[in-house]
Amino acid sequence: MASLSVGVACVLLVLWMVVPSLAAVYTVGDTSGWTTGIDYSTWTQGKTFKVGDTLGEYPTFHTVDEVSSSDYSTCTVGNAIRSDNSGSTTVTLKAAGTHYFICGVVGHCGNGMKLAVKVESSSSTTATTTTTNPDFSYSSSNRSSFAAYFITCVALIVILVI
C-alpha cells in the first residue's frame, strides 16, 4: 500500500510540474530583441498570447515600462505603472486584456520600442476587453523550461523505480 501512495504522490508531482510548463514563453522581438527600430506590432502578428504566458527579453540596458493606453499612444515616459530596468526582464501575463509596454528611455518609444499585447484568457479563444491596469509581475529570474523538464523526468524515473 505504501508504494501505491508514493506512486500517486509522484503522479501528482509530475502533473503539478507539467501543467505550468504548458504556458508559452516568448522572447520579445525574437532574435532582434528589445531595441529601437523594430516593428513590434509585426512581431505580435500570428501569435496568440494567453494568461500564464511570459514575455522575456534578451539582456539589455533598456527599461520595460508598463504604461496606460494613452501613454503608449503618445510615448509618454515617467508615468509607468510598473517598471523594470534589471537588464533581463521577464513579464508573466496574469490577466486578460491588452498590455502596453514601452522603453522608459526618452526617445526610444518614438523609435519603435513599444509593444501592445492582447492577452486572451487561457480557457477562451476569443479576445477580451482592454484594460489599462493589467495584472502581471516582473521577474528577473524565470523558472526555466529546462528545470521543469528535469524535475518532470526525475519524478517519472522515481515512478518507474517504485
Closest CA relative to residue 33, chosen from 103, 106, 99, 80: 103
Between CA 138 and CA 109 the distance in angstroms is 20
Between CA 62 and CA 112 the distance in angstroms is 13
Report which DSSP code applies to 125: S
Strands 90-93 and 54-56: antiparallel
* Residue 158 to residues 8, 90, 162, Cα–Cα distance (Å): 11, 32, 6
Q: pLDDT band at 92, cuts 50/70/90?
A: very high
Q: Tell me what pLDDT residue 127 has.
A: 34
Question: Would the pLDDT of 4 be above 60?
Answer: no
Q: Where are the domains of the chain?
A: 25-120
Which distant-in-sequence residues (6+ apart) come within 8 Å of 160 by Cβ? none
- pTM of the shown model: 0.65
Which distant-in-sequence residues (6+ apart) come within 8 Å of 132 by Cβ? 68, 69, 100
Q: Tell me what pLDDT residue 89 has.
A: 87
Q: Tell me what pLDDT residue 136 has.
A: 42
At the topology level, CATH places domain 25-120 in Immunoglobulin-like (2.60.40)
Between CA 64 and CA 83 the distance in angstroms is 6
Question: Would the pLDDT of 114 be above 50?
Answer: yes
Q: Does an H or E element contain 159, and which? A: helix 145-161
SS3 146: helix
Closest CA relative to residue 80, chosen from 56, 104, 54, 97: 104
Question: Quick one: cell of 42?
Answer: 509585426
**Phi and psi for 20 in degrees, rounded to 5?**
-65, -30
